[in-house]
Structures are given as C-alpha cells and as structure tokens.
Amino acid sequence: SRDHFLGSPTKPTANIDTEDFPKVQFAEL
C-alpha cells in the first residue's frame, strides 16, 4: 500500500489501502 502511495503522488487515494488512508490525509494537509 505504501508503494502505491509513493507511486501515485498525484492521486494516492486511487490505490491506497484503508490502513494508509489516514497517512494520505496527513500528507495532503
């Protein structure tokens, strides 16, 4: 899931797992 987040910085929410969702929100903030 982290690889998906790092691999898709433009739209991370498209490939992230539920456990990484909070991390994405924090990154967007």
What are the extents of the domains in the chain?
Answer: 1-29
Q: What is the pLDDT of residue 22?
A: 64
Q: Has this prediction a pTM greater than 0.75?
A: no
Start-to-end CA span in the chain (Å)? 19
Model confidence pLDDT, tens digit, residues 1-29: 455 555 555 655 555 555 666 666 655 55
Q: What are phi and psi of 22, to 5 degrees?
A: -60, -35
